[in-house]
Chains A and B, each alone.
Chain A
Amino acid sequence: MTAIDAALSFNPARDPMRLRRMVTLGVLAIALILALILALGIGAVAIAPSQVVAILVQHLGITTGVTFDSYQEAALTSVRLPRLLLALASGATLGIAGASLQALFRNPLAEPLLIGVSGGAACGAVAWIVFGGLGLGLGAWGLPFAAFGASLIATAGVMLGARGEGRLDISTLLLSGLAMNALTSAILGYIIYLATESQVRALTFWMLGSLGGATWDAIAPAALLMALGVGALVLLTRPFNALALGEAEAGHLGVPVERVKLVTVVAVALGVGASTALTGVVGFVGLVSPHIVRLIGGSDHRFVIPGSALLGALIVTLADVVARTLVAPAELPIGVVTSAIGAPFFFWLLRYRTHQAVRR
């Protein structure tokens, strides 16, 4: 039963919590729409809301009395719209990826960073840029695929390292992820050492994260890959719930545990790889979103997964608004903004919440 089926068979008198969850999702969706309107209107180029609407509908062939100049149109259609779509796609992907990894590891502190997904993606993308993959003629598909491929290799390596007696042990997996991260950062460092001065400048900025590179050509393939990964994870909400009981208990409930783990890892690598390839490393979204959602409406993944997608998209959209307005007409790296919000949250979490959340 998916979240939609659940919503259709819903009777609020039976389950007050479900009402609260549906209201939360509704509020998040409305907040996201408001944030989108805000993000479309705010930026170095001033565009009034009425002008935003006028420009958008003009592309549908409707003319309005509202006037706007060509710079406003260019800023909206060539820069802000693709950028906003990238914010939505990568934010939702990071939120869902974080929630999924937390479900898989049965640990609320899991992040794509932990199992080497981000490190691998970073290695792949950096190698692609430095070793001239851009010249191979694969166009916009090359970079996200390179990032996905490398993150999958890294993640597969971690899983092989952690596989003992035919089973995948979660604590060993976390430790293998730690080792893999050490390895990927060493590879990353070596590639950067080989890079030219100008490539290093480009790479450092990319590693801090930025949505500034969103062009229509680049986001289409990456968004497709992200959609594939997210689509697979959305189907796993009930198995994720069962996994919270433990792997053996999930198995007793009929969950094909090994298959769920494999699909999750591949789907997360796909989503995070494609997202990282375009935006660079945007940290903490995958940690913060599921947590806040859980605090509001509990841990049922039929709620946590869509909630994390909405909240992740909201956070990245707003963080990008901050990133491109704070020092306009120049821009801040978005990773700096999300980390500035996320890192204190992480500390608070470590200090006050983990001892409750991981009680077994």
Chain B
Amino acid sequence: MSLKGSELSVRAGGKPILRRASLEVRPGELVAIVGPNGAGKSTLLKALAGENSNLLGSVVLNGRALKHWRAEEIALQRAVLPQSPGLAFPFRVWDVVELGRYPLRGLASGDEHHAAITGAMDAADVTRFAERDCRTLSGGELHRVHFARTLAQIWAPLPDGRARFLLLDEPTAALDLSHQHAILARARGVASDGAGVLVVLHDLNLAAAFADRVVVMDKGGIVDAGTPGETLTTALIQSVWGVETEIVRDPATGRPRIYVRPQGIAKLRTIGEARAFAAE
């Protein structure tokens, strides 16, 4: 049982934005995708979610090709949190989280639904907003509400034992420091609970701290994959991001911690330099 993409390629506007990427997420693990802007991280996550219609390659969910599952069966097995979730109408927070229970309508009792919704809201720390109109929330708060929705969707193990998966596209981008850690800790908890979790992250330290495996992408392809300790090396970071770093082991966890050297950030010109460059 797993969520497995093989040889995934996507072209957009005639250019390849994902090249022959293969990735497998197994139950119980948290996999982080990292990489610079435009590396194809979100494209890979969307491909595994079945969002791309012009996708080459195959995606297999729990032993069956994604396209052979019915939409509602897929929804029972995996939830997706997009980078910028939309909301067309002024729903309450409770209403949005409740939407996560849509695939389980008729499959769970009223009490089970209620427990899942309140549990998910607690886990995402949005319980105190429950009755509020979503339009009155900040961007980060709203993001947590949608996170709660995805949690509610895969809240309990499936009766037939099929594995559940949670795909999160940059869930920490809009969050404050404490909620960044809280949300990833919660995602870790979901993995410990037996689900497979795939997270797109920008912050290498967050990836190093929470991921079982890190997948490094650059220019549409997968460069390296493995435990944080194996993949996040100064050499790799230098070659992918062009940044000089120093890496130490966290004495408590043994996981790497990455410090960027200030003199290593040389890519952006100062305004004065840019002006001089433009004048030439």
Query: Which residues of A pack against B, CB within 8 Å?
Result: 1, 9, 14-17, 102-103, 106-108, 165-167, 238, 241-246, 248-249, 251-256, 294, 298-300, 356-360
Nearest Cβ distance between residue B46 and chain A, in whole angstroms? Answer: 8
Q: Collect the chain A residues with CB atoms within 8 Å of residue B133's CB.
A: 298
Q: Which residue of A lies closest to B51 (CB)?
A: A248
A163 nearest CB across to chain B (Å): 12
23 contacts between A and B (CB under 8 A): A1-B105, A15-B94, A103-B89, A108-B88, A165-B54, A167-B53, A241-B102, A245-B96, A246-B86, A248-B51, A249-B80, A252-B75, A252-B78, A253-B100, A253-B102, A253-B153, A254-B103, A298-B133, A299-B90, A300-B92, A356-B90, A359-B87, A359-B135
Q: Which residues of B contact A245 (CB under 8 A)?
A: 85-88, 96, 99
- Least CB distance from A249 to B in Å reads 6
Q: Bound state CA distance, A223 and B135, in angstroms?
A: 39
In the complex the two chains form, is B53's CB within 8 Å of A249's CB? no
* Complex Cα–Cα for A253 and B54 (A): 21
Interface string of B95-131 (1 = CB under 8 A from A): 1100110110110001000100000000000000001
Complex CA–CA separation, A352 to B76 (angstroms): 40
Chain A, Cβ-Cβ closest to B114: A14
Report which of B49, B71, B88, B153 forms a contact with A256, defined as CB distance below 8 A: B71
User: From DSSP, what is the main secondary structure of chain A's interface residues?
Assistant: loop
The answer to whether B232 has its CB under 8 Å from any CB of chain A is no
Closest to B89 in A: A299
Contact across chains for A255 and B89 when beta carbons are under 8 A apart = no
User: Which has the most chain A C-beta neighbours within 10 Å: B86, B105, B106, B135?
Assistant: B86
A253 touches B99 (CB 8 A): yes
The 10 closest A-B pairs by CB, nearest first: A254-B75, A299-B89, A106-B88, A254-B72, A254-B103, A360-B86, A252-B80, A244-B88, A9-B110, A246-B86
With a cutoff of 8 Å between Cβ atoms, the chain A residues found around residue B72 in the complex are 254, 256
**Residue of B whose beta carbon sits closest to that of A301:** B89
Range, interface on chain B: 35 or more
**Beyond A166-B53, A238-B102, A251-B71: 14 further Cβ-contacts under 8 Å?**
A103-B88, A243-B88, A244-B91, A245-B87, A246-B82, A246-B85, A246-B88, A253-B99, A254-B74, A298-B91, A299-B91, A299-B95, A300-B91, A356-B135
Contact of B131 among A17, A108, A242, A248 (CB under 8 A): A17
- Contact across chains for B103 and A298 when beta carbons are under 8 A apart: no
Contact B53 A252 (CB under 8 A): no
- Complex Cα distance, B106 from A254, in Å, reads 14
In Å, the complex CA distance between A238 and B87 comes to 15
| CB neighbours of B105 from chain A (8 A) | 1, 238
Q: Check A357–B89 contact: CB distance below 8 A.
A: yes
Determine the chain A residues whose CB is within 8 A of the CB of B106 once the complex forms.
1
Are B80 and A244 in contact, with the CB atoms below 8 A? no
CA distance A357 to B110 in the complex (A): 30
Chain B residues near A241 (CB-CB < 8 A) = 91, 95, 99, 102
In the complex, what distance in Å separates the CA atom of A165 from the CA atom of B110? 40
The residues of B that contact A356 with a CB separation of less than 8 Å are 90, 135
- Cα distance A48–B94 in the bound complex, in angstroms: 48
Question: Do A300 and B102 have beta carbons less than 8 Å apart?
Answer: no
